[in-house]
Chains A and B, each alone.
Chain A
Amino acid sequence: EPEVTQTPSHQVTQMGQEVILRCVPISNHLYFYWYRQILGQKVEFLVSFYNNEISEKSEIFDDQFSVERPDGSNFTLKIRSTKLEDSAMYFCASSVDSVRAYEQYFGPGTRLTVT
């Protein structure tokens, strides 16, 4: 069964450093998403992406964050200058089309630790 994959599974970085989290969505999916879950808190929406554009972003997704689909398979989340409060589990998700856009398939997550 096709699945969303994410790399790395765990990333440790120092405050102020740039990080890139990588995702490979399911191959025929068209809609892509990033969510994050700070330890012990809710899963929070960050951004949705379709047709090489951001469809929607949350208040969390400020100028420090960016997303990109650099080729036909990868979908990346970049944090330019990490802060301690960026420490969280980051989940990538994808969905197949506009009719079933709500049916999102999640990757296993990348745990980001900012020290």
Chain B
Amino acid sequence: GDSVTQMEGPVTLSEEAFLTINCTYTATGYPSLFWYVQYPGEGLQLLLKATKADDKGSNKGFEATYRKETTSFHLEKGSVQVSDSAVYFCALSDRGAAGNKLTFGGGTRVLVKP
């Protein structure tokens, strides 16, 4: 079945540092890929998405590129802020599946210190 693997946290950074969170996936079909973010006490928010190979999703300074050859979708941000402290989830959806379910990675907690 489909699966998503992402680097374990926590990741602790100083403000303005570069952030990378690795994500790789296994899928039987041709998935769409997502990053969701969960701020403390809140639900999951869609951060960015990519629906086909070589697509780059971007939002709020975050970027991720759909790499089919390496089955990866790594999240990057060039200069993090304290407000980026959250848990980040990589996810995929197999567009061929009937139910459109999302399959999530385990989440990576990011803590940005001033």
Contacts and interface: CB of A to CB of B under 8 A. Distances in A.
Interface in B92-112: 93, 95, 97-107
Nearest to A92: B43
Interface string A78-103: 00000000000001010100000111
B105 A102 contact: no
Contact of B43 (A31, A57, A95, A106): A106
Interface stretch (A14-22, A42-50, A68-76): A42-50
23 contacts: A4-B43, A33-B101, A33-B102, A45-B99, A45-B101, A45-B103, A48-B101, A56-B97, A56-B98, A56-B101, A57-B99, A58-B101, A91-B44, A95-B100, A101-B93, A101-B100, A102-B102, A103-B49, A106-B36, A106-B44, A107-B43, A108-B41, A108-B42
A41 interface: yes
Contacts, number: 67
Interface in A20-52: 31, 33, 35, 41-45, 47-48
A48 B103 CA distance: 13
Interface of A: 4, 6, 31, 33, 35, 41-45, 47-48, 55-58, 91, 93, 95, 101-109
Given A55-B98, A95-B100, A102 B34 contact: yes
A35 B103 CA distance: 10
B100 A109 contact: no
Contacts of A33: 100-102
Contact of B99 (A41, A56, A91, A108): A56
B47 to A, nearest CB: 12
Given A42-B106, A43-B89, A106-B36, 10 more contacts: A42-B105, A44-B104, A47-B99, A56-B98, A101-B100, A102-B93, A103-B46, A103-B49, A104-B100, A106-B43
B99 to A, nearest CB: 2
Interface in B51-69: 51
Contacts of B45: 106
Interface string B71-104: 0000000000000000001010101011111111
